[in-house]
């Protein structure tokens, strides 16, 4: 796995909000075909890291490399056609667009009608409930359905790297397992995924590698299995 | 001539609807910009005013003040296109220069900036009225209202002079405003840009994560809203035969009230609100007294803001993340 070329690399990323620094030199890499997870307590800076990668949040230092190119100065909307997608924390679906329109927005940067139709079919196969709800407004879906919509919407961009921020947060347990199944399905299809999860155990089981973030610093990184076995992780993040 | 009271009423309904369509066109620009960046674009009425000044300048420069028949039609089309393009572009420039740098600033800063832009526009209009052209009374009395050429005669299309009048000018209003409203509806509901506009309005961060160039979409919204004000200014000028540098204030107040009444952010609401304000104005002019009309509109604005800020068709609460 580790011989695959690096798709995403963060070098010493520093960032913050107003006068407050929250990331103090984050370095990590995601290789093609890998599932990498980022775990950490509330407020550790996981979402901030993803928002920096998507270039929604400004960066105060360091650099970001995507597919061999320095994208530190790239605009958010230009990263999407390069193949970067994010399922953001809290889902952020468009509440007054229909389910179908939400999915169409995911393909905003594409013009290959055939490919879009194929991916739409793929999303419907993965989440059949969305097919039944195409004309319904996004805001009227249940939380779990909204999460599926948010994942489907990101997949509609045909991304090369899919970042997911706590996809299992605030959803019924039955749907949580459906979401993790979907992630496993994507992994089996060769999708590269950077996953942020509260549910560290389930996330680490799925992941090739993981990073542990603590107050804006990476304090540990290893394979998913080793992290699952690590006493420190077991104590702090697996509640043992 | 003697009019029956039913005829008077019917006439006022017609007048109200015609003026209401013009108000609605301006209200759409308020509501579109509010919908996308939550800015109450204080300068919007004054942008409308400048559109009228541009139209008059073009008529004067091309010597079309007296145009009639087919030439009048050409002249009307020329000033419609020119004013729409001019107001759209000016609105985009205002966004680029004044509002865009404040995207992350508190909304109050944005509003105060818009009030500043309004002052600039009003004074531009005042200066413009003093340009030494024949159509601007040779540059004398810059602040005085300017006669706008009667390119569209007020001939009654329903026949004779008495009874209810539906004039060529009323027809002009319908012919210009209705297709624009339908076109706007189609654009917003069906096109890629329209969907991007709605997505940006509903969640700008998510819109950027979809690869939408949010600044460009906001710019397009300013252009469309401004262009509608430009169209409205020409229709208004042809309907009323007069323009003045202060006309943006009243038109702006009417249109803003219409947008709030309909539910600010809602396109159908802006049209409904425009028609209602037009009707209320006409009825007040006829049955109350014209000098009370502005006060009445203002009172309506305050009452809605106090008792039903979401307006008639607006969302009860906005789910902004
Ligand atoms: N918009 C913001 N303005 C100011 N501070 C913020 C903002 N967003 C996050 N922070 C702060 O930055 C730090 C990191 O937050 P972040 O959301 O990245 O953490 P997280 O690891 O995603 O946490 P959680 O598990 O709760 O989602 C926190 O201290 C948080 O309070
Ligand atoms: Mg988070």
What is the per-residue pLDDT across A51-102, written as a single tens digit (0 to 9) for each?
999 999 999 999 999 999 999 999 999 999 999 999 999 999 999 999 999 9
A96 vs B contacts (CB less than 8 Å)? 198, 202
Angle, CA B13 vertex, CA B10 and CA B16 arms, to 5°: 150
Under DSSP, is residue B31 helix (H, G, I), strand (E, B) or coil? helix
Domain boundaries, chain A: 1-83+160-240, 90-158
Query: What pLDDT score was predicted for residue B163?
Result: 75
Under DSSP, is residue B91 helix (H, G, I), strand (E, B) or coil? helix
Asked if residue B245 has pLDDT above 50, the reply is yes
Of the candidates B230, B245, B250, the residue with the CA atom closest to the CA atom of residue B55: B230
Give the one of A97, A109, A139 whose C-beta lies nearest to B199's C-beta: A97
Spacing of C-alpha B121 from chain mean position: 15
Asked if residue B318 has pLDDT above 80, the reply is no
Instruction: Assess whether the C-beta atom of A144 lies below 6 angstroms from ligand 1.
Output: no
Instruction: Assess whether the C-beta atom of A17 lies below 6 angstroms from ligand 1.
Output: yes
Do B319 and A104 make contact, defined as CB atoms within 8 angstroms? no
What is the Cα–Cα distance from A209 to A211, expressed in whole angstroms? 7
Asked if residue B319 has pLDDT above 70, the reply is no
User: For A91, which residue in chain B has the nearest alpha carbon?
Assistant: B206
The CATH T-level fold of domain A1-83+160-240 is Rossmann fold (3.40.50)
Strand-strand pairing, A69-70 and A61-66: antiparallel
Atom of ligand 1 nearest to the CA of A196: 22
What is the per-residue pLDDT across A9-51, written as a single tens digit (0 to 9) for each?
999 999 999 999 999 999 999 999 999 999 999 999 999 999 9
What is the per-residue pLDDT across A95-151, written as a single tens digit (0 to 9) for each?
999 999 999 999 999 999 999 999 999 999 999 999 999 999 999 999 999 999 999
Least trusted range by pLDDT, from A10-19, B132-141, B259-268, B293-302: B132-141
Query: What pLDDT score was predicted for residue B238?
Result: 97
A85 vs B contacts (CB less than 8 Å)? 209
Instruction: Assess whether the C-beta atom of A90 lies below 6 angstroms from ligand 1.
Output: no
Query: What pLDDT score was predicted for residue A237?
Result: 81
What's the average model confidence in pLDDT over B212-218?
97
B212 vs A contacts (CB less than 8 Å)? 77, 105, 108
Sequence-distant (6+) residues with CB within 8 A of A153 are A87, A93, A102, A103, A105, A106, B210
* pTM beyond 0.90: yes
Sequence-distant (6+) residues with CB within 8 A of B65 are B59, B134, B135, B149
Instruction: Assess whether the C-beta atom of A39 lies below 6 angstroms from ligand 1.
Output: no
Asked if residue B1 has pLDDT above 80, the reply is no
Which residues lie across from A24 on neighbouring strands? A14
Which residues lie across from A87 on neighbouring strands? A164
Of the candidates B299, B262, B284, B239, the residue with the CA atom closest to the CA atom of residue B34: B262
- Tell me the CA–centroid distance for residue A11 and ligand 2, in Å: 21
B195 vs A contacts (CB less than 8 Å)? 97, 101, 104-105
Q: Are A157 and A80 in contact (CB under 8 A)?
A: yes
Give the one of A79, A94, A157 whose C-beta lies nearest to B199's C-beta: A94
What is the per-residue pLDDT across A181-237, written as a single tens digit (0 to 9) for each?
999 999 999 999 999 998 889 899 999 999 999 999 999 999 999 999 998 888 888
Structure tokens at B71: 């030439």
What's the average model confidence in pLDDT over B34-44?
95
Tokens 């014209």 correspond to B290
Query: What pLDDT score was predicted for residue B2?
Result: 66
Strand-strand pairing, A192-196 and A161-165: parallel
Query: Within 13 A of B218's CA, how many CA atoms are on the CB side?
Result: 24
Asked if residue B196 has pLDDT above 60, the reply is yes
Shortest Cα–Cα distance, A54 to chain B (Å): 7
Could you tell me which residue, B38 or B164, shows the higher pLDDT? B38
Query: What pLDDT score was predicted for residue A2?
Result: 56
What is the per-residue pLDDT across A153-181, written as a single tens digit (0 to 9) for each?
999 999 999 999 999 998 888 889 999 99
């Amino acid at each position: 796995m580790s011989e695959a070329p690096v798709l995403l690399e963060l070098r010493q990323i520093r960032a913050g909000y107003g006068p407050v620094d929250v990331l103090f030199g984050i370095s990590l890499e995601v290789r093609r075909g890998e599932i990498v997870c980022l775990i950490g307590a509330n407020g550790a800076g996981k979402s901030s890291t993803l928002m920096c990668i998507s270039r929604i949040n400004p960066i105060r230092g360091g650099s970001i490399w995507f597919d061999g190119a320095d994208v530190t100065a790239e605009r958010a909307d230009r990263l999407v056609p390069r193949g970067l997608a994010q399922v953001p924390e809290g889902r952020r679906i468009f509440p007054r667009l229909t389910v179908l329109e939400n999915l169409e927005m995911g393909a905003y940067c594409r013009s290959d009608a055939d490919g879009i139709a194929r991916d739409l079919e793929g999303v419907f196969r993965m989440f059949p409930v969305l097919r039944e709800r195409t004309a319904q407004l996004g805001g009227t879906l249940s939380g779990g359905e909204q999460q599926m919509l948010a994942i489907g919407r990101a997949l509609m961009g045909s991304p090369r790297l899919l970042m997911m921020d706590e996809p299992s947060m605030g959803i019924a347990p039955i749907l949580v397992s459906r979401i993790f199944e979907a992630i496993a399905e994507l992994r089996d299809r060769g999708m590269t995924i950077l996953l942020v999860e509260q549910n560290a155990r389930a996330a680490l089981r799925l992941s090739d590698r993981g990073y542990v973030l603590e107050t804006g610093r990476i304090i540990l990184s290893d394979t998913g299995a080793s992290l699952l076995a690590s006493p420190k992780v077991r104590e702090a993040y697996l509640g043992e | 001539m003697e009019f029956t009271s039913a005829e008077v009423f019917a006439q006022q309904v017609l007048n109200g609807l015609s003026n209401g369509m013009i108000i609605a066109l301006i209200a759409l620009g308020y509501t579109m910009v509010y919908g996308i960046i939550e800015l109450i674009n204080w300068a919007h009425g004054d942008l409308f005013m400048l559109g009228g000044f541009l139209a008059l300048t073009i008529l004067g420069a091309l010597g079309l003040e007296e145009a009639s028949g087919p030439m009048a039609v050409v002249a009307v089309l020329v000033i419609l296109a020119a004013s729409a393009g001019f107001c759209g572009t000016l609105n985009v420039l205002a966004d680029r220069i004044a509002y865009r740098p404040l995207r992350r600033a508190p909304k109050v800063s944005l509003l105060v900036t818009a009030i500043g832009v309004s002052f600039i526009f009003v004074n531009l209009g005042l200066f413009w009225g003093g340009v030494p052209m024949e159509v601007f009374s040779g540059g004398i009395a810059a602040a005085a209202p300017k006669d706008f050429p009667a390119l569209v005669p007020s001939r009654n299309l329903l026949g004779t002079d008495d009874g209810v009048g539906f004039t060529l000018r009323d027809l002009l209003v319908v012919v210009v405003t209705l297709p624009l409203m339908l076109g706007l509806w189609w654009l917003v509901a069906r096109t890629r840009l329209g969907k991007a506009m709605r997505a940006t309005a509903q969640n700008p961060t998510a819109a950027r994560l979809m690869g939408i160039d949010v600044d460009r979409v906001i710019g397009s919204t300013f252009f469309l809203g401004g262009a509608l004000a430009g169209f409205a200014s020409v229709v208004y000028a042809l309907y009323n035969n007069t323009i003045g540098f202060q006309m943006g204030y009243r038109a702006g107040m009417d249109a803003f009230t219409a947008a709030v009444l309909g539910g600010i952010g809602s396109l159908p609401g802006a049209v409904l609100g425009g028609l209602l304000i037009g009707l209320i104005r006409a009825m007040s002019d006829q049955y109350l007294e014209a000098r009370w009309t502005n006060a009445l509109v203002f009172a309506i604005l305050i009452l809605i803001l106090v008792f039903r800020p979401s307006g008639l068709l607006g969302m009860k609460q906005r789910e902004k993340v």
